[in-house]
Amino acid sequence: MTYPHQSLAADPHDRLGLLRTDDAWLDQRWSDPAGRVLVIAGTRVRPGEAGLEWVSTADAPDGVRVLLGERGGVTWWAVIVPGEVAQAEPERWVALRGLLPHLSGAQVDQAPLVFHAIGLAEWHWAHRFCPRCGGTLVARAAGHELVCADCGRPQFPRSDPAVIMLIAAGEPGSPEERCLLGHNHNWPAGRYSTLAGFCEPGESLEDAVRREVLEETGVVVGEVSYFGNQPWPLPSSLMLGFHGRAVSEEIRLDDADVEDARWFTRAEMLSQAEDGTLVLPGSGISISRSLIEDWYGGTLPGSW
């Protein structure tokens, strides 16, 4: 079975990390008319009617030039311009969540490039001053490093590990087996998804799964097994997917973010997804959807 989140790694680009400080090579590749550039205003992108718009290097505006890499014989870039550009036309520039519909179907192969570009743009946006002395940070290494103009301390992009998990209870594979999904208080009625949370310092990923599920629902988790991962630059996460087995089933809601949590059998999940009373995570590139459909054993209708 092919899972939605795997599209992000189906055709990765060569990031050319060893060439990021070769100014002569960078200038030569920038002069190639075949190169393509994604323009990002702050952290937002302006999609066109036909989807994402990649302009030529000749048509790209001035800004922080970011080398994404090479794929299909083409060099791919991003140029980060001030966020005020997007503020002048807020209806035309969208954040990553607004781009997700454009990253499924025909343009899904662009997702690794777009996630790379926006992840770096989010990092540039959030790191404008040196955390040691407060000096101004200047981009180098083709946008993949920031160095303080005063003390010289370099900064590098970081990804925050976050766990996302499908917790099941009951005899595996039986009609009575059920999985645990949660409803965030900000979501519309009927929308449920897998639980998730950030890994804390000094904590293993498996223990993060157990702690987050316990904190959010009161359910105790025993066995935890790795499923897969997905980059998620909202703003700088790496989502690490897991399956877990519950050793208790009583739900206790003490976490302010989780308004409701429920156990679903496969039959309940299918019937409610079909009639629209259960709205599951998006089917385009979501690892949450992958976890659910892996447990269910096939594709399911309906998504947000």
pTM metric for this prediction: 0.86
Nearest to 239 by CA among 202, 195, 282: 195
pLDDT value, residue 254: 83
Q: What tokens does 220 get?
A: 């105790």
pLDDT value, residue 105: 63
d(CA 109, CA 188): 30
pLDDT (tens digit per residue) in 8-45: 556 789 999 999 999 999 999 999 999 999 999 999 99
pLDDT value, residue 17: 97
Q: What is the DSSP string of 262-301?
A: EEEEHHHHHHHHHHTSSBPPPTTT-HHHHHHHHHHTS--S
CATH 3.90.79.10 boundaries in the chain: 160-296
pLDDT value, residue 236: 87
Q: Mean pLDDT over residues 43-56, rounded?
A: 87
In the chain the beta strands, taken as DSSP E runs, fall at 36-41, 44-45, 55-56, 64-71, 74-81, 137-140, 145-148, 154-155, 160-169, 178-184, 195-198, 221-232, 237-246, 258-265
Given a cut of 70, is residue 7 above it in pLDDT?
no
State the DSSP code for 200.
P
pLDDT value, residue 282: 78
Given a cut of 90, is residue 49 above it in pLDDT?
no
Q: What tokens does 86 get?
A: 């997007």
Pick the CATH number of 4-126 from 2.60.40, 3.40.50, 3.90.79, 3.30.460: 3.90.79
pLDDT value, residue 284: 62
pLDDT (tens digit per residue) in 229-259: 998 877 889 999 999 999 999 999 987 889 9
Given a cut of 80, is residue 6 above it in pLDDT?
no
Given a cut of 90, is residue 302 above it in pLDDT?
no
d(CA 57, CA 200): 41
Q: Mean pLDDT over residues 180-207, rounded?
A: 95
pLDDT (tens digit per residue) in 194-232: 999 999 999 999 999 999 999 999 999 999 999 999 988
pLDDT (tens digit per residue) in 266-280: 999 999 999 999 999
pLDDT (tens digit per residue) in 120-176: 999 999 999 999 999 999 999 999 999 999 999 999 999 999 999 999 999 999 999
d(CA 46, CA 37): 12
Q: Which CATH class is domain 160-296?
A: alpha beta
CB neighbour list of residue 51: distance below 8 Å, 6 or more residues apart? 102, 106, 107
pLDDT value, residue 98: 80
CB neighbour list of residue 85: distance below 8 Å, 6 or more residues apart? 41, 42, 93
Q: Cα(first)–Cα(last) distance of the chain, in Å?
A: 22
Residue with tokens 């097994």: 225
pLDDT value, residue 10: 62
Q: What tokens does 172 get?
A: 């595996």
Q: Mean pLDDT over residues 60-87, rounded?
A: 96
* Share of residues in the chain with pLDDT > 90 (%): 77
96-105, 115-124, 140-149, 282-291: lowest mean pLDDT where?
96-105
